[in-house]
Amino acid sequence: MVSFKTRRREPELVPPARPTPRETKLLSDVDDQHALRYYETVIGFFRRCGDESDGPDDLAEVVRAALAEALVYYYPVAGRLREEAEGKLVVECTAEGVAFVEADADVRLEDFGEPLLPPYPCVEELLCDAGDTRTVIGRPLLLMQLTRLKCGGFVAGFHMCHSIADGFGIIQLMITIAELACGTKAPSILPVWKREILSTTRSTSPITHPNPSYEPLLNSLDYASESDDVMLSTTLDEMVVDYFVFGPREMKTLESYVRGCLTHPATSFELLTAVMWRCRTIALGYKPSQPVRLMITMNARGRWNRHTLIPLGYYGNAHFSPIAELTVDELCRQPLVDTVELVRRTKLSVTKECMESMVDTIASLRQRPCADPARTYEVSDTKWIAAGNGLQLGWAEYVGGGIPVAGDLTSKLGSDHMRCKNQDGEDSTVVSMLLPRPAMERFKKEMAVWLNKHDEKNLIIQSSL
């Protein structure tokens, strides 16, 4: 892999381009989860199009101006978080601005690899220093670094406070910046705040009947024995992250295990999640009688969720995490088709009534100790929120990116499913996996068996932390 250092200028605060309302904004109960008090990381790679004379002479100035204009519409992002009574967060819309860093790197886009896949070399060099990623109060809510490359391409790296926006919301803001950089007068999708739609109308005192999808989480918080999970006791410097690429050939092999056994064909997410949950559980060496959990981060937006109340343009957190639970023995002994069906049922459990109940449960948990649930595999399908054509700049095209295992690593214990092209140029899925080093070796061997591969090195792109 190529190695390089970026030359960064001093960070500067970019305020909204014009006066914006000075007010206090309430967050939703979904936003206000303690688990979301950190900076999420998103990165995008761009290739210059056409003649070298196309595009702006001063790229940083154009992007900086577009960022300032975007903050007129997303003005709460230019404010600061404040903690009120009982620890509830609010946004003070102060127009203080967001952090912007201009940088240069003596590498070309092709030096990052063809095809462009994670792990991206020296990814921390493409992101500005976010400091303590778990300290969000009184700090800029967005930190952006724009890195120019020798070939004329560039990289946009973002740290965004997760209490303000989810992955979809961050991409929506990125698209707005791109549109304004191209000279459009206003965003094609206007941002919507309306955080009250995901806030409870009842008391936040402990509820006697929590949503069933969250009962395993509540149980895990009450068990003193949960600390025996190697994922929670291993330090980050003893872990390794690898990325697993699944193209048409690999998916066909996995589909052969369930073909003809399902009422509806399995999606790639359902099939990969079922297999990787089983392999991960075996690799971590849990005892047969111990409960293991699958937590699926489900976005409440989209056509799949026709009952959703989420309006177009909503950029707050609009995701829920239903949980499935089995013992290790039950998970590893049942046919794969049963695990796939369990993944599917867990996904489909997020109905309108379920969402309302989950909001109540989330609100009641806000005062409880913040802890990672033990023996839990959290999975997010981020393929459908990929920027894709939404980040075309006319004089530059988006060629890859997503959520790297960088920045706040404590939030990366699960897996993100992302779009990519494999070595043959085929549409594929790349999945991140963070595990203790010995467990990773066992995980790769388990995956190689499912994929009928004699050499597990053909499956992964390694990246030691």
How much is the pLDDT for 95?
Answer: 98
User: Who wins on pLDDT, 213 or 360?
Assistant: 360
DSSP character string of 269-299: HHHHHHHHHHHHHHHTT--TTSEEEEEEEEE
Is the model's pLDDT at 454 over the cut of 70?
no
Catalytic site includes residue 319: no
- The tens digit of pLDDT for each residue in 351-381 reads 777 777 888 888 877 766 555 678 999 999 8
User: Who wins on pLDDT, 400 or 90?
Assistant: 90
Q: Rounded to whole angstroms, how far apart are CA atoms 19 and 209?
A: 46
How much is the pLDDT for 455?
Answer: 54
Place of tokens 């990773």: 440
Is the model's pLDDT at 99 over the cut of 80?
yes
The stretch 197-226 carries a mean pLDDT of 61
- The tens digit of pLDDT for each residue in 308-332 reads 678 999 999 998 888 999 999 999 9
State the chain's mean pLDDT as an integer: 87
Q: What pTM was computed for the model?
A: 0.89
Q: Rounded to whole angstroms, how far apart are CA atoms 341 and 354?
A: 19
In angstroms, the Cα distances linking 352 to 203, 301, 320 are 20, 12, 12
From the DSSP assignment, how many helices (H) and strands (E) are in the chain? 10, 18
**Active-site residue, selected from the candidate residues 159, 162, 319, 417:** 162
User: Who wins on pLDDT, 463 or 351?
Assistant: 351
